[in-house]
Amino acid sequence: MNGRALREAAIALLAAMAIGSLLAIAYGARPAEVWHVLASGTWGSGYGVGQVLYKATTLVFTGLSVAVAFRAGLFNVGAEGQMLLGALAGGLVGTQAGALGPLAALLVALAAALAGASWGALPGLLRATRGAHEVITTIMLNFVAQAVALALGASVFTKESLHTAPIAEVARLSRLSRFWPALHGSAASTALGIALATALGVWWWLFRSRPGLRLRLVGESPLVAASTGASVGRTTVGAMALAGALAGLASIGFVQGYKGYYEDGCASGAGFVGIAVALLGRSHPAGIVLGALLFGTLSQGGLAINALVAKELVDILLAFVILSLAALSPEARRAFRRGV
């Protein structure tokens, strides 16, 4: 992130804090006390740290999903639906993967990635062949994904709640508290390590590989990319498929690391917050990791401050940051310009 990006991010966050302070006063609370409780409820205890890391794990994946699309000049608003179907695929495959032993966890993750990639490739194909704007199609496909999950629920979920049977024990990921006892009770798992490794892999692919260079060239100037022999259509489909795969992988923290099964609503909000993470991190994997930690802190902090103000205060702050960063982000403006 360059100096200008850091200034814009700081402005957006400071403005959000100012608005949050005003809302806290409107609720009859003291802003200093609200921010203190938020900080102590997150980074002030082992459990809080673990919950922040758990929430950040998902946001690293969804942030990378949005960022890859941004780099290709596209705007993926469908990470939530892609993650939902990834979680469903992983949950269903995980129930049958016990016989594979150590490979079971890998198979579940691959199933999640493939389901997300398939759902992401569809708006990419519509964009490449019909010129349909991916913002519209990905938003619509979020609702279709929810309908698909609910339709399958009538036959494969338990009656008590909308979730699959537990996945095989060998397909689950270890909790971080196994290695860091202070995190006991939190949902943080080794999915965090996978998320960080994925961020490193995406960085290398985007900035050190020829396909990544081609994708960025298409995003910056489709006409120039076409003149060099690059297929803009194939790159568009491939970028959205990769974005979908990353969003599908976002489900492993929940399905394999936390609950051990797919549950309806497990992707709620993750895709849209992923947009803010990508915007804050300026579509760079290192910035996305930092942005995920920040928004993971805000998400967990919303629960901590619920005794003082409504936890929806954090939702308002997140929405304000998303809108502010979208207005300031050149990647978002470029993606919208390509659709008009």
DSSP 142-205: HHHHHHHHHHHHHHHS-SSSSBPPPPPGGGSPPBGGGT-GGGTTS--BTHHHHHHHHHHHHHHH
pLDDT of the residue at 303: 83
Q: Checking phi first, is residue 290 left (phi over 0); if not, alpha (psi -120 to 50) or beta? A: alpha
CATH of the domain at 305: 1.10.3470
- Most confidently predicted of 19-33, 38-52, 89-103: 38-52
97/33 Cα distance (integer angstroms): 49
pLDDT beyond 70 at 329 = no
Contact predicate 335/75, CB 8 Å:
yes
Q: HSE of 174 in the Cβ direction (CA atoms, 13 Å)?
A: 9
pLDDT of the residue at 285: 96
Question: 189 — phi, psi (to 5°)?
Answer: -140, 180
Per residue in 296-306, pLDDT (tens digit) is 998 898 888 87
pLDDT beyond 70 at 32 = yes
Which domain covers residue 237, as residue numbers?
A: 3-338
Question: 297 — phi, psi (to 5°)?
Answer: -65, -45
Residues 6 or more apart whose Cβ sits within 8 Å of residue 337 = none
Burial 220-258 (b: 16+ CB within 10 A, else e): eebeebeeeebebbebbbbbbbbbbbbbbbbbbbbbbbb
pLDDT of the residue at 2: 62
Q: pTM for the whole thing?
A: 0.91
90/113 Cα distance (integer angstroms): 9
Per residue in 57-93, pLDDT (tens digit) is 999 999 999 999 999 999 999 999 999 999 999 999 9
Two structure tokens written together for 323:
């809108």
Percent of the chain with pLDDT over 90: 59
pLDDT beyond 90 at 233 = yes
Q: How many domains does one find in the chain?
A: 1
